Amino acid sequence: MTTTSPATPHEHSPEARIDLDSALTRLRAGSSEWTALTAAGRRDLLRRIRSAVAGAADDWARIAAASKGLEPRHPLAGEEWLAGPYAAIVALDAYIGTLDALARGRSPLAGVRTGTAPGGRTVVHTSPLNVADRILLSGYTTEVWLQPGVTAHEARDAAGLASRHPLRSGGVGLVLGAGNVTSIPFLDVLYELLAEGRVALLKVNPTQDALVPVFERAFAPLIEAGFAAVVSGGGDVGAYLTRHPEIDHVHITGSETTFHAIVGSGDDRLRVPITAELGGVSPVIVVPGRWTAADLRFQAEHVATMRLHNSGHNCIAGQVVLLSRDWDQREDFELELRRAFARTPKRPVWYPNAAARLEHVREVYPDAEWFADGTRAIAVGDGEIETTEYFAPVLGIVDLPGTGAAFVDAAVAHANERLTGTLGANVLVDPVTQHRLGSPFDEAMARLRYGTVAINAWTAFGFLTPTATWGAFPGGTVDDAPSGIGIVHNALLLDEVERSVVRGPFRPFPRSLGRGRFSVLPKPPWFVTSRTGRAVSEGFARFRIDGRIGPLLVTLARAFGA
């Protein structure tokens, strides 16, 4: 997420302006050629991009880790494999499948199972759709819920978006890239091209300047054809580009402050449409139940991962844990949560202004408990932590009354009404309690006004699944969009989406053999407490790239050492 604000155009040099104008002129010419490219042609182009990403994968992961102050063998360096090359490859594979279906005159939803959700919503079961997902991500599923009233038949007919009607040009789009997760700019460019029919100019966030050569290598087939360009620079460059007459649309992943600065007001009001992903304060709803000691430890590490991944510099991070004050295991869970914060490997707090935000938290929450030499904190109590996205490793705990359905209803209402944003919500519930709650639990989940709802999973899984969707809950406007407008990813190119729902196993293997959702995975490699997370994450990415079974077996064996 970028924190820089647009500055006045005159701050960058005339030479830089000439280069930007030249890039946009080439893209304008390329937009006509992109429009004329068939689904089969686009599919073949993506296959070339896939080869380019595979060739750049090692540099991508290494440079990304270094930019965040991590040595290549740091226990958490695996994050950069999953959030970089892995995310790019699985997205390309999914888009290639969609374009291949369109090239053959089929709907991308042909053979994809559908169902219904509360409120008569149509549900598209978007993963797993292949054997690799069933093996690597055992026990995890995603669904896309369409807006009420959209039928399965209508969804199949509409799937494909701009790639279904390639003769309709979307012009030139500007992508203002995120500064925190390296796959975001890459994925946003793909969505501009395939879902919106626009060629794209990517302006890289300054925090990722070191990755510009990697992006240029990955996008080389697009750049050579005039379908994409990559530029760098600060807020002055962003300001110049957002007001440029050759830009037809703006997409940003960033802060709400930056978004409003771009939109402007009065005579400086942005003249073109804008979509955005702006983060928010994400809840972690912990439903009271009867948990074993192993459950308490595992789910505490799960919550720590939601907050401490990428040193907390994630719009996707869980920030406020909603706990029942009437849960008789509440103190046990809090103790395990503190232990997880303490044993997670130390890492730099690297994002611009994050250190200042941590100091601010010390002032606002003087009783907060600090860990890892004062670089991460847990604060108990409501207040600012519910309305301000800290974008730093600070977790809040807020008490609510009740147990069972009463607690679930109170937590859903609190999340909807008190927490800023609508991007993602996480819910942890043991299988016995979920079964006992029955359909009212499902109805409560439908009332959560979030673009992604994860049940016994982290919403990041939805982000990482290309056939799921990512973005704010529908309803944001340029004047009121705390988590943004529109969606991205969505590799099945579905129309009229309301949200994605992720479901995961409450317990890892071998404890998943009992009641509940089965998984062959032990501790997932993305857990910040996984001892083998770096090696397993890299192994997963390499398998997605080359499909070699031998190294995958070695990787899976390592996973059981977590």
What is the tens place of the pLDDT at every residue in 189-243? 999 999 999 999 999 999 999 999 999 999 999 999 999 999 999 999 999 999 9
Residue 532's identity, in one-letter code, is T
Confidence at residue 4, expressed as pLDDT on a 0 to 100 scale: 35
Q: Who contacts 497 (Cβ-Cβ below 8 Å, separation ≥6)? A: 144, 145, 146, 147, 469, 474, 487, 490
Inter-CA distances, 394 with 83, 101, 135, 304, 314, Å? 21, 45, 34, 10, 12
pLDDT recorded at residue 3: 34
Partners of 396 in the β-ladder: 320, 379
- Token pair listed for 457: 């999973």
Contact 150, 474 (CB under 8 A): no
Question: How far is residue 387 from each of residues 173, 409, 420, 537, measured CA to CA in Å?
Answer: 31, 20, 5, 33
Report the C-alpha gap between 279 and 316 in whole angstroms. Answer: 7
DSSP class per residue in 337-363: HHHHHHHSPP----STTHHHHHHHHHH
Q: What are phi and psi of 319, to 5 degrees?
A: -120, -30
pLDDT digits (tens, 9 = 90+) for 451-477: 999 999 999 999 999 999 999 999 999
Extents of the domains making up the chain: 9-108+164-253, 282-461, 531-562
Q: Is residue 453 helix, strand or coil?
A: strand
| Alpha helices in 37-174, H assignment, sequence order | 39-67, 78-81, 87-103, 131-136, 152-158, 161-164
Residue with tokens 């928010």: 280
Nearest to 454 by CA among 444, 442, 462, 446: 462
ω into residue 510 within 30 of 0, thus cis? yes
Task: Give the bridge partners for 398, in sequence order.
Answer: 322
Taken as a whole, the chain contains a residue count of 562
> Which of 463, 488, 483, 481 has the alpha carbon at shortest distance from 472?
483
Average pLDDT over residues 348-369: 97
The model's pLDDT over 51-86, given as tens digits with 9 standing for 90+, comes to 999 999 999 999 999 999 999 899 999 999 999 999
- 282 close to 423: Cβ distance less than 8 angstroms: yes
The DSSP code for 451 is S
Instruction: Report d(CA 302, CA 294) in Å as an integer.
Output: 12
- CA 155 to each of CA 150, 159, 195, 471: distance values in angstroms, whole numbers, following the listed order: 7, 6, 15, 19
* DSSP, res 85: I
Q: Percent of the chain, pLDDT > 70?
A: 98
What confidence score (pLDDT) does residue 14 get? 81
Q: Residues 83, 310: contact at Cβ < 8 Å?
A: yes
Q: What's the pLDDT at 360?
A: 97
CA nearest 282: which of 445, 472, 76? Answer: 472
Q: Three-state secondary structure along 177-244? A: CCCCCCHHHHHHHHHHHHCCCCEEEEECCHHHHHHHHHHHHHCHHHHHHCCEEEECCCHHHHHHHHCC
What does the DSSP 8-state code read for residue 507?
Answer: S
How confident is the model over 426-451, as pLDDT tens digits? Answer: 999 999 999 999 999 999 999 999 99
Tell me the average pLDDT across 155-179: 92
Query: Which of 171, 249, 178, 252 has the alpha carbon at shortest distance from 215?
Result: 178
| Residue written as token pair 């604060």 | 379
Rounded distance between C-alpha atoms, residue 313 and residue 83, angstroms? 13
In this predicted structure, what is the pLDDT of residue 15?
83
Q: How open is the CA angle 173-178-180, to the nearest 5 degrees?
A: 165
User: Distances in Å between the alpha carbon of 255 and those of 204, 258, 389, 417?
Assistant: 15, 5, 9, 20
% of the chain residues with pLDDT over 90: 94
Beta strand pairing status for 452-455 and 424-428? Answer: parallel
40: three-class secondary structure by DSSP: helix
C-alpha span between 421 and 423 (Å, rounded): 6
- pLDDT at 411 > cutoff 80: yes
Model confidence, pTM: 0.96
- The answer to whether residue 20 scores a pLDDT higher than 70 is yes
Classify residue 20 as exposed, middle or buried by CB count within 10 Å of its CB (0-12, 13-18, 19+). Answer: buried
β pairing state of 484-485 and 274-277: antiparallel
> What is the assigned CATH class of domain 282-461?
alpha beta
d(CA 350, CA 216): 24
End-to-end CA distance of the chain: 30
CATH architecture of 9-108+164-253: 3-Layer(aba) Sandwich (3.40)
- Residue the block writes with tokens 């979509």: 275
Residue 249 has pLDDT above 50, yes or no: yes
Tell me what the mean pLDDT of segment 112-122 comes to. Answer: 97
Per-residue exposure over 507-530, b if at least 16 CB sit within 10 Å of its own CB, e if not:
bbbebbeeebbebbbbbbbbbbbb
